[in-house]
Amino acid sequence: MPIDNIIRLSVSEAARMFGVSQRTIRRAITDQEITYVVVQGRYKINFESLLKWSQRSTTVRNKRDH
């Protein structure tokens, strides 16, 4: 996938999109369950890895589907 087609979200955007807390997203970052880059001191989360993470986690999957 070309680099300019990668979708990246902030922690707050990811939390809002998947119906979880920002702390849950940050915990996934700490546990290396999702990939990210740091841009100007802020996490930018790779959407594809976020989606895969949400499919593996039962709680997140249920919240996402609700």
Q: What is the reported pTM? A: 0.79
- Please report the DSSP string for 36-56 in residue order: EEEETTEEEEEHHHHHHHHHH
Tell me the torsion sign for CA atoms 31, 35, 36, 37: positive
- Asked whether 9 and 51 are in contact (CB, 8 A), the reply is no
pLDDT surpasses 90 at 6 = no
Tens digit of pLDDT for each residue in 33-54? Answer: 999 999 999 999 999 999 999 8
- The residues with which 9 forms a beta bridge, in sequence order, are 45
Tens digit of pLDDT for each residue in 10-32? Answer: 999 999 998 899 999 999 999 99
